[in-house]
């Protein structure tokens, strides 16, 4: 048995020490440079105030004109070609001109270029030399599945000092992603390598999932076998503990023993990042729960909200259904909004956010045994954030099932059953060290992550040296 373990660890270790070294090194980069995305602050900064003087059709007519039968949310935004309704269902999204109900999808490159330039200008970027680079379904930075409903995407380069590139949805004409030269450069040696994320592989989600999940599992097995060998090969004489090896082998043995707990937990939690429902629940709503939260509202109840006066500084107006009521929320600032509820007296209908009673009304339709709604603290062990900075996120415990709901727009932020709560610790806490006590001391957390990843990298390098010498001796013979 030991002979088989030695041979398996030796030959698999030769290949996987390279993978381990890459994971540890890129993990440090990823901690400081996340994968490119358009933050909510950037998106909102790029929005123009919605024109108030234009003749705008009712929301119900925009929903009918979209052809989407399961519309749950409608947003009104301002584009260079006028106000546009963005109509969304659980799986589809479309855009309708608010002036006449005509299709507002973007199929002309000049229109996409104009949208990107307007967005850049409002964010204080220089769009003078902007040009269209491509219109494609996928590239290296737009492979995540969240962009599927917006494909193909127009990619516009600003040719500014930062090397900014902006992606415009062909479905809605919204800016959905931006990248800079600095982000792209660091992510080539960060996320792309760490996640094994080349476009040709990641564009096929199933294939990418199988490749990375299986590689991670084999890597975990190699690490476990190495830990077993490291412990078994220890020499203990009285109070003295020593290694039977010399040189690089001894260094590999000693560092491996010192870093065993971290290496095993980090590789294990990394493998769990590819779990996708295999061992733990995915945190997704059940079909029955989704039928409640995604229930199609009576959009004919929206006209009273349509007639409600809008602020001239509103940059986004959204209609959505929550607990069988239609709401309208007007966003005038990143941190400020007005929420209007249909069917309420004028003095009661305008608030800033949903209240706890409204949240409880929905969750009691989702699951039995629901208690009172509580507002999450910033240091909650199961953190969740609102789309609007500073807005409350309500947690309702329904026996063993928890729902976290955004008080700003009524969306379900998290569904936490016992399995998902366990996953939070088994994956996120072990892999990113986002324990509440460390999140309260970010510099300490940064130092720990860099330190233990550097230790893992040194350990991997010793394995690479040993493996290279082993291969050279084998082929020389």
Q: What is the pLDDT of residues 378-424, one digit of tens each?
A: 999 999 999 999 999 999 999 999 999 999 999 999 999 999 999 99
pTM: 0.92
Residues 245-262 have pLDDT tens digits of: 899 999 999 999 999 999
The whole-number average pLDDT for the span 316-324 is: 91
| SS3 state of residue 214 | helix
- Angle, alpha carbons 123-125-130 (nearest 5°): 125
pLDDT at 348 over 70: no
Q: What is the mean pLDDT of residues 288-309?
A: 84
Longest C-alpha distance within the chain, in Å? 90
Q: What is the pLDDT at residue 298?
A: 84
Tell me what pLDDT residue 96 has.
96
Query: Is there a contact between 430 and 27 (Cβ–Cβ < 8 Å)?
Result: no
Radius of gyration (Cα) for the chain, nearest Å? 27
CB 356 within 8 A of CB 373: yes
Q: What is the pLDDT of residue 19?
A: 94
Can you tell me the mean pLDDT for 441-457?
96
- Residue located via tokens 């290279």: 468
Q: Is 197 exposed, middle or buried (0-12, 13-18, 19+ CB in 10 A)?
A: buried
> Omega into 331 within 30° of 0, i.e. cis?
no
In the prediction, which pLDDT does 360 show?
A: 94
Q: How far apart are CA 430 and CA 410, in angstroms?
A: 31
Residue 54: pLDDT band by 50, 70, 90 thresholds? low
More confident residue, 29 or 235: 29
């Amino acid at each position: 048995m030991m002979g088989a373990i030695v041979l398996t660890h030796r030959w698999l270790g030769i290949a996987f020490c390279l993978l381990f070294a890459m994971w540890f090194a890129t993990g440090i980069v990823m901690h400081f440079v996340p994968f490119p995305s358009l933050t909510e602050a950037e998106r909102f900064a790029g929005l123009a105030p919605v024109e108030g003087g234009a003749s705008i059709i009712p929301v119900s007519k925009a929903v009918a004109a979209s052809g989407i039968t399961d519309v749950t949310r409608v947003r009104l935004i301002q584009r260079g070609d006028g106000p546009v309704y963005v109509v969304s269902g659980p799986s589809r999204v479309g855009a309708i001109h608010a002036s006449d109900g005509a299709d507002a999808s973007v199929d002309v490159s000049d229109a996409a270029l104009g949208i990107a330039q307007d967005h850049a200008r409002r964010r204080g970027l220089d769009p003078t030399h902007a040009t269209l680079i491509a219109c494609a379904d996928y590239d290296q930075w737009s492979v995540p599945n969240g962009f599927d409903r917006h494909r193909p995407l127009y990619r516009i380069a600003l040719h500014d000092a930062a090397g900014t590139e902006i992606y415009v949805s062909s479905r809605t004409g919204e800016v959905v992603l931006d990248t800079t030269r600095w982000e792209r450069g660091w992510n080539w040696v960060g996320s792309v390598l760490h996640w094994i994320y080349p476009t040709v592989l990641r564009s096929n989600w199933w294939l990418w999932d199988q490749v990375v999940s299986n590689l991670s599992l084999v890597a975990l097995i190699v690490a476990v076998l190495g830990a077993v060998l490291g412990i078994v090969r220890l020499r203990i004489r009285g109070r003295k503990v020593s290694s039977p090896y010399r040189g690089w082998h001894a260094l590999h043995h000693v560092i491996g023993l010192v870093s065993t707990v971290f290496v095993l937990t980090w590789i294990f939690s990394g493998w769990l990042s590819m779990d996708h429902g295999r061992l733990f629940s995915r945190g997704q709503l059940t079909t029955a729960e989704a039928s409640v939260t995604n229930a199609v509202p009576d959009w004919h109840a929206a006209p009273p909200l349509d007639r409600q006066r809008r602020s001239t500084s509103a940059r986004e107006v959204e209609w959505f259904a929550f607990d069988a009521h239609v709401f309208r929320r007007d966003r005038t600032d990143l941190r400020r909004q007005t929420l209007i509820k249909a069917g309420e007296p004028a003095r009661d209908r305008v608030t800033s956010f949903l209240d706890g009673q409204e949240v409880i009304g929905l969750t009691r339709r989702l699951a039995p045994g629901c208690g009172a709604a509580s507002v999450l603290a910033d240091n909650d062990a199961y953190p969740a954030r609102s789309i609007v900075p500073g807005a409350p996120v309500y947690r309702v415990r329904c026996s063993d099932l928890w729902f976290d709901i955004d008080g700003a727009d009524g969306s379900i932020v998290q569904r936490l059953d016992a399995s998902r709560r366990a996953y939070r610790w088994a994956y996120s806490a072990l892999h990113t060290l986002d324990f509440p006590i460390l999140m309260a001391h970010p510099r300490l957390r940064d130092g720990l992550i860099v330190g233990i990843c550097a230790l893992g990298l040194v350990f991997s390098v010793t394995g690479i040296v040993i493996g290279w010498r082993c291969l050279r001796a084998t082929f020389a013979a």
